Structure 1
Amino acid sequence: MSSNVIDLVGPERSPRSSHAPRVLIYSHDTFGLGHIRRCRAIANALVASFPHISVIIVSGSSVISSFQFGDGVDYVRIPGVEKQSDGHYGPHHLNLELDDTIRLRTDIIKQTVLSFDPDVVIVDKEPVGLRGELKPALDILRRRGARIVLGLRDVLDEPGKLLEEWRHSGALEALDTIYDDVFVYGLESVYEPLAGLPDQQHFSAKTRYLGYLKRAVPSPMPPNRYPRITKQPFILVTPGGGGDGAGVIDWVISAYEADPTIALPALIVFGPFMSREKRKDFAERIARNPKLEGLGFEPRLELLMNRAHCVVAMGGYNTFCEILSFDKPALVVPRVRPRLEQAIRAHRAEELGLIDVLADPAQDGDGVRDPMVMAAALHALPKRLPPSQAFVPDLLDGLPAICRALAENLSSPVRTRALAPSVALS
């Protein structure tokens, strides 16, 4: 698995044209960084392969402006909605009721669809959007003849819970009647995210397993401003967005406090959603340990992943893709609440020999994190074989596979979709 590929480098900017194909990517973004980072990777891959097209990402992410996008990619920021640890939602910033916020988001999405008029729409994970906010836009897109694609990560949740959620939201009906394609960003041999749903014949024919989304070193390279630890072999510790990663970080710091013989130092990246109080407490403990350094938020985490010798992380989809892409020995401590997604992914990857997994006993509420258990895992981690030695074929073919799958709609410099006069403005 080569990691020397550079992201966002391509030919000179394509001439602008109002007649070139257009892609809209929807990402509800209620928690963490996973959805926007996945959509960003897809958008950048599309404009690299089809530089004449335009891509708009509709996102609720509060940190979307921190990320680099290729020429031809822009975004529409809808009001943020925050997912709580118990799985419930609330407005992130606005002093509105949730229903009012959803209504506002729905109107913005609908107007964006009407004005931008995409030829291809990729919906990330939620078939009808958050609380059905995407339904009016999907109706317009269906009437206009756009190609509508549902993009799914490799694991959604345990089958029973997914069935309950999708049946209640109307997602099952949309899967059957609205979507032209279902793209799974993973391999069927690794996991089948829709295996527990009924009436498989309604969508199995339009489901494609494309492979995981390979990540690249961002470009242009920034000045060398990283902590001193990065100038030598080090362990990168990342909890993703950080909103639910305090337990992993606490466990790692405790291991270094309990066992000063751990060979490699560690750089801990908190993530933008970790609470100020937790970050302050961790920073004080890190400052007292010569083998630890901390960093707040790094939107180009790929740079650090590429430099690191090995990685300790939670089991989110995007971090998993980065571990595979940069071929790093990894120890994954998966989250088990409010979804089992990370645990399912991590244990399946461990079965395939891609990573090592360490269960967090405190997540069940009655266990205690033993610092020496983590210390033993950190001693063993640098000796672990990288994921490439598991020899899983076509593991990271996701991005080129997406481009191949959409080439019929995007390769021409002129839009080929013919709009009927009666639906052109509706």
Structure 2
Amino acid sequence: MLHHPTPGDHPFRARGLRVLIYSHDTFGLGHLRRCRAIANRLVTAHEGASVVIISGSPIIGQFEFADGVDYVRLPGVVKLPNGDYTTSSLRLPLDETVAMRQAILLETARTLKPDLVIVDKEPTGFRGEILPALRELRRNGARIVLGVRDVLDEDEVLAGEWERKGAVDALVEFYDDIWVYGLERVYRPLAGLSLPPETRERIVYTGYLRRELPEKPQSVRYPKVTREPFVLVTAGGGGDGEEMIDWVVSAYEADPGLSVNALVVFGPFVERTRRAAFMERMAQLPRIDAITFDAKIEHLMSRSVGVVAMGGYNTFCEILSLDKRALIVPRRVPRLEQTLRARQAARLGLVSMLDGALLGPGARRDPMLMAEAIRRLPEQPLPSSVTLPHLLDGLDSIEALTRRITAGERADRPGAAARRA
């Protein structure tokens, strides 16, 4: 096992905090938005800080970042329906693409020489690609943190997956801290893992990541349905949201008396032909319209009377931050993450929920069930009616944790207030 440096081994450098944030994911928007929120907060909180996000997202360039934040794009990979992976753009074998990604990660780590490294969700990265970089970073005295969302998957499923990947071993060998971007009262994502006591003691529940409204977009024209009270229907990245969108559209087709308007935001990963088919159907319906994508969707959410969504982590944080009534229709495949989060949130009274099993291929969905849920949405209680201490303290906690690191203090068990929430 490699030596875990103490802060005395690597005092904060006067050249300004340097942070490397790694997210392997190339599908969806949640990972990217989470990394961006953390990066923007760190450069705001630490004068002279620089943050590099290294990601496989094909749309990372469509987002704005604060001064001091930049990104490195890894060659993309995509998951096939059978669970295998392939390259998304390059005409290279997958193993050669992974080798290229691994080399980019290693060289970025060597060149940046970060003080702090935040790895998003996967302790070993995609197919172990980050392990050589972690060894290099450990030798250079970086503090290495695993950041995970509030829910990963069912305990037994996660335990088997991490066993196959060697993730627990990597967690013990390389990581100084584990930040859970949620509340222990809501969910304990690592509870089912066999972690050594000293590793479990390094888990900190930060609270959810509060989202602020970004700078208002200029010269943006939204569809006419947004001029009256409307429900925002968001499928996140959209790659797995077609069934939910279909259910919403069918509700407006089946119930002409559904009086609240709806705006669908497809997301950038809905296939063009499917998007065109939805638009053709919606052209016959006066109260529903759609746009493809909005990098500043927070403004639409803020204006809406409620949100219909699948309930990924990022959307959930936005719902809480903007205090929006929400109807969650969580997917159940390829993992139960969204379902587990929605169940807990509904139990606490933060959202309402429809059974995501009805999103499965070939499922027979009742359009009137969705229509009635949308009709009730503007009248349900706001999330703020539920009192949960430290619910949205995530970014504040992360700022405090990084200040302890830069001050050279031990940070094995900081954020006690957040842990007790």
Give the TM-score normalised by the residue count of structure 2: 0.91
What residue in structure 1 maps to residue 48 of structure 2?
A: 52
Asked whether the equivalents of residues 24 and 122 of structure 1 are also in contact (C-alpha less than 8 Å), the reply is: yes
1:225 aligned residue (221, 228, 231): 221
Asked whether the equivalents of residues 229 and 304 of structure 2 are also in contact (C-alpha less than 8 Å), the reply is: yes
Give the superposition deviation at 1:201.
Answer: 1.0
Instruction: Give the SS at the match of 1:406.
Output: helix
Asked whether the equivalents of residues 113 and 141 of structure 1 are also in contact (C-alpha less than 8 Å), the reply is: yes
Give the superposition deviation at 1:361.
Answer: 4.0
Q: Residue 176 of structure 1 aligns to which amino acid in structure 2?
A: V
Per-residue CA deviation, residues 335-380 of structure 1 (Å, 9 max, x unaligned), is: 1001000000000110010001101343455630110110111111
Instruction: Give the SS at the match of 1:285.
Output: helix
What residue in structure 1 maps to residue 275 of structure 2?
A: 279
1:34-53 paired onto structure 2 within 5 Å: 34-53=30-49
What residue in structure 2 maps to residue 392 of structure 1?
A: 388
Instruction: Give the SS at the match of 2:201.
Output: helix
Asked whether the equivalents of residues 331 and 357 of structure 2 are also in contact (C-alpha less than 8 Å), the reply is: no
State which drifts further: 86-95 or 120-129. Answer: 86-95
Asked whether the equivalents of residues 17 and 50 of structure 2 are also in contact (C-alpha less than 8 Å), the reply is: yes
Tell me the matched-pair count: 396
How far apart are the structure 2 equivalents of 1:222 and 1:307?
16
Q: Does 1:95 align with 2:95?
A: no
Q: Residue 226 of structure 2 aligns to which amino acid in structure 1?
A: T
1:11-30 paired onto structure 2 within 5 Å: 19-30=15-26
Asked whether the equivalents of residues 50 and 411 of structure 1 are also in contact (C-alpha less than 8 Å), the reply is: no
Q: Does 1:82 align with 2:78?
A: yes
Q: Does 1:406 align with 2:402?
A: yes
1:257 aligned residue (253, 263, 283): 253
How far apart are the structure 2 equivalents of 1:302 and 1:398?
18
What residue in structure 2 maps to residue 156 of structure 1?
A: 152
Instruction: Give the SS at the match of 2:270.
Output: coil
Asked whether the equivalents of residues 168 and 195 of structure 2 are also in contact (C-alpha less than 8 Å), the reply is: no
Q: Residue 60 of structure 2 aligns to which amino acid in structure 1?
A: I
1:319 aligned residue (315, 334, 339): 315
Q: Does 1:67 align with 2:63?
A: yes
1:6-405 paired onto structure 2 within 5 Å: 19-365=15-361, 367-405=363-401
Q: Residue 42 of structure 2 aligns to which amino acid in structure 1?
A: L
How far apart are the structure 1 equivalents of 2:74 and 2:362?
39
Per-residue CA deviation, residues 311-340 of structure 1 (Å, 9 max, x unaligned), is: 000020000001101111100000100100
Instruction: Give the SS at the match of 2:26.
Output: coil
Asked whether the equivalents of residues 26 and 55 of structure 2 are also in contact (C-alpha less than 8 Å), the reply is: no
How far apart are the structure 2 equivalents of 1:241 and 1:86?
20
Instruction: Give the SS at the match of 1:150.
Output: strand
State which drifts further: 169-178 or 196-205. Answer: 196-205
Instruction: Give the SS at the match of 2:333.
Output: coil
Per-residue CA deviation, residues 84-110 of structure 1 (Å, 9 max, x unaligned), is: 344332111111111111110000000
Identity among equivalent positions (%) equals 53
- Runs of 5+ consecutive residues of structure 2 not aligned to the other structure: 1-12, 409-421
Instruction: Give the SS at the match of 1:374.
Output: helix
